[in-house]
Amino acid sequence: MTTHTFNAALSGTFELGGRRPVHRLGFGAMRITGKGIWGPPPDRREAIAVLRRAIELNINFIDTANSYGPHVSEELIAEALYPYPDGVVIATKGGLERPGPDQWTPNGRPRHLAEQLEGSLRRLRIDCIDLYQLHRIDPAVPEDDQFGFLQRVQQEGKVRFIGLSEATVEQIERARRYVDVVSVQNRYNLVDREWEPVLDYCTREGIGFIPWYPLLVGRIGESNAAVARIAQRLGATPSQLAIAWLLKRSPVMLPIPGTARVTHLDENVAAAALTLSDEDFGVFA
């Protein structure tokens, strides 16, 4: 790269629900927890430093979930950032239970979702969650019950905007009968595009698309030789190239690469200053 400017604002802006602007390069707070996304982080001071550094770098979109820890990520966000700076959007999720490390079980029963939502409000120290996302649509619970819950808590003023995670186009459309879906968070990265039809739908509809696992935990250069080759030519890392590719892929793309280290956070945010040519972008089309 020809610049080492660390400024998430260089990634551009997207307006959630057409009303709440965020810089497109955000921060995913899953990895500030322990191994297996379970328990506290090995270095709590560094985790706090990462969150505060994110704000310094103009990141104003932070994504977390009740299930990260569980509870640990939300608690650390509040400890590091409350009272939250103006313009910062904290997105969280509910709908998964955690039996143990690396274990995730859907639970979309409205009573359970209500308990999770109240817990998130308490841990984040707020009265209204900016963006609340259904972490999974539970196949064992009628969709009407889950979408109806989202509609109700939005009407009660506990949630400003609604999003979904790991949802199909058909599920998004059914959810939109109840609420305005402003974001969808599905697994997506430069080499894993299973959810491309959902991304195309979100692009057409102006719905924010939040790709989780955007960097294959930093191994994206190992999975594609062209990534490493082009990144080297541009003076960037493979991860920076992958972020720049995501940002160019769609104007609704909101990458949220996560990390538990300040140096890695700086590296990720530097990708906002990297512009891919159409030719380099087309190598991965």
Please tell me the distance from the alpha carbon of residue 206 to that of residue 76, in angstroms, as a whole number.
Answer: 32
Rg (CA), the chain: 18
Strand pairing partners for 159?
129
* Cα 207 to Cα 12: distance, rounded to the nearest angstrom: 16
What sign does the CA torsion over 37, 39, 45, 48 have?
Answer: positive
Burial 92-115 (b: 16+ CB within 10 A, else e): bbbbbebeeeeeeebbbbbebbee
For residues 137, 138, 141, 144, the Cα torsion angle rounded to the nearest 10 degrees is 0
Facing residues of 163 across strands?
A: 133, 183
Q: Is the dihedral of CA 16, 85, 272, 134 positive or negative?
A: negative
Catalytic residue status for 132: no
Gap between the Cα atoms of 35 and 267, Å rounded: 22
Identify the active-site residue in 68, 84, 188, 201.
68
Report the C-alpha gap between 150 and 212 in whole angstroms: 22
Look up residue 148 and give its amino acid: G
Check: CB of residue 179 under 8 Å from CB of residue 32.
Answer: no
Active-site residue numbers? 68
